[in-house]
Amino acid sequence: MTTRTRFWICAFKRDNALCEPELGATAPRQYDCKEGCGNTVRTDTHARQLRDKADEIDRAAAFVPEKLSRRMRRNAGNLRERADAHDATAQTAEALT
Ligand code: SF4
């Protein structure tokens, strides 16, 4: 069993859900959550956590063989890009209500 850290929360709206909840469902099927779902919401805290995780991966990458290290650094870069995308598109809670 693997544990995945998700750096977003679900603002569930059935019609947008990629996890294919049953008709009339009032809750998502979180065990089948799909990245890219339009219901995901990322906060500034999530963006900070993405960067922290990227730093952690980079530190670990210094202790593994080069091929794996490159893959880990690429993964860390992807996490930073997501954090940057959040920063570039973030809206305040007031703007969303
Ligand atoms: S796919 Fe994930 S984010 Fe989308 S509705 Fe389902 S649980 Fe929520």
Pocket test for ligand 1, best of 26, 29, 41, 43 (most atoms within 8 A of CB): 29
Question: Mind listing the pLDDT tens digit for each residue in 53-94?
Answer: 999 999 999 999 999 999 999 999 999 999 999 999 998 878
CA 85 to chain centre: 11
pTM: 0.79
CA 58 to chain centre: 18
CA 90, 42, 18 angle in degrees (round to 5)? 120
Q: Which residues line ligand 1 (CB under 6 A)?
A: 10, 12, 17-19, 28, 30, 33-34, 37, 39-40
Q: Which pLDDT score is estimated for 97?
A: 74
Share of the chain above pLDDT 90, in %: 74
Confidence of residue 3 (pLDDT cuts 50, 70, 90): low
